[in-house]
């Protein structure tokens, strides 16, 4: 099974503590954060990885090489300029050969069974399946909502507060959707998904409440380090 890992961002908010490498390569107990992400994917049988890289992307390729040392196949799609999430997916799409493929962010770690997405995609005949996660207060985010497994709201900011579900940033996409992404800099979250919903495409997914962290800011990076030291993160 194939996955595109988006690892091309500049990581400006983490620069105060990680300045010599791209954010997904930030070290945690002597290993880059990306290695933890990869091991989580391998547990679900996802071992054909396409790294969408940009800023200092050569560091990612130098460490992971062809992937054989980690029990995966690794390839690299370089961005000459920032392309946004959808643009990076389209750029990496030249290496996609499966009829569906996973997409996730290289600076987030989500403990989950990725097979759950495959199952809901087949059950609901979805063109894209997403992972949502519950949060105690949705006011900081755009709310996302599922009704009977189908996506009925996404990035919805209406001033509501309280508990709810938001986008978890993990996707299972049909390869045909690559043709629906325009060339250039394009946002998956702000442009493509809202447009596909308006067009009536079959988008849906699951809610997963497993361990989740985004190391985009120093306090969360330090928290992940502590969770690894405590043994909360294992493979």
Locate the domains of the chain by residue range.
Answer: 2-230
* CATH placement of domain 2-230: 3.90.550.10
CA atoms within 13 A of residue 107's CA, in its CB half-sphere? 22
- Looking at residue 11, what is its pLDDT? 60
List the chain pLDDT tens, one digit each, 235 residues.
Answer: 999 999 987 667 777 777 778 889 999 999 999 999 999 999 999 999 999 998 888 999 999 999 999 999 999 999 988 899 999 999 999 999 999 999 999 999 999 999 999 999 999 999 999 999 999 988 878 889 999 999 999 987 766 788 999 999 999 999 999 999 999 999 999 999 999 999 999 999 999 988 999 998 899 999 999 999 999 887 6
pTM for the complete prediction? 0.94
Express each pLDDT in 135-163 by its tens digit.
Answer: 998 887 888 999 999 999 998 776 678 89
Task: Return the H-helix or E-strand segment holding 123.
Answer: helix 115-124
Interatomic CA distance for residues 57 and 46, integer angstroms:
21
* Tokens representing residue 80 in the block: 């000459």
């Amino acid at each position: 099974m194939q996955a595109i890992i988006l690892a091309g961002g500049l990581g400006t908010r983490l620069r105060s503590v990680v300045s010599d490498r791209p954010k997904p390569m930030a070290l945690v107990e002597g290993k880059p954060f990306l290695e933890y992400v990869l091991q989580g994917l391998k547990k679900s049988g996802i071992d054909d990885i396409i790294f969408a890289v940009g800023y200092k992307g050569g560091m990612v390729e130098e460490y992971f090489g062809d992937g054989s040392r980690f029990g995966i196949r690794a390839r690299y799609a370089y961005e000459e300029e920032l392309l946004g999430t959808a643009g990076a997916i389209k750029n990496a799409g030249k290496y996609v050969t499966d009829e569906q493929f996973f997409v996730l962010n290289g600076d987030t770690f989500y403990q989950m069974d990725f097979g759950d997405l495959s199952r809901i995609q087949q059950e609901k005949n979805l063109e894209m399946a997403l992972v949502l996660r519950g949060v105690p207060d949705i006011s900081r985010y755009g709310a996302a909502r599922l009704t009977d497994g189908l996506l009925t709201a996404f990035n919805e900011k209406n001033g509501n507060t309280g508990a709810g579900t938001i986008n978890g940033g993990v996707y299972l996409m049909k390869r045909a959707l690559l043709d629906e992404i325009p060339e250039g800099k394009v946002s998956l979250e702000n442009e493509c998904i809202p447009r596909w919903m308006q067009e009536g495409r079959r988008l849906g997914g699951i809610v997963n409440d497993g361990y989740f962290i985004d190391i985009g800011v120093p306090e969360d990076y330090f928290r992940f380090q502590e969770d690894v030291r405590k043994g909360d993160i294992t493979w």
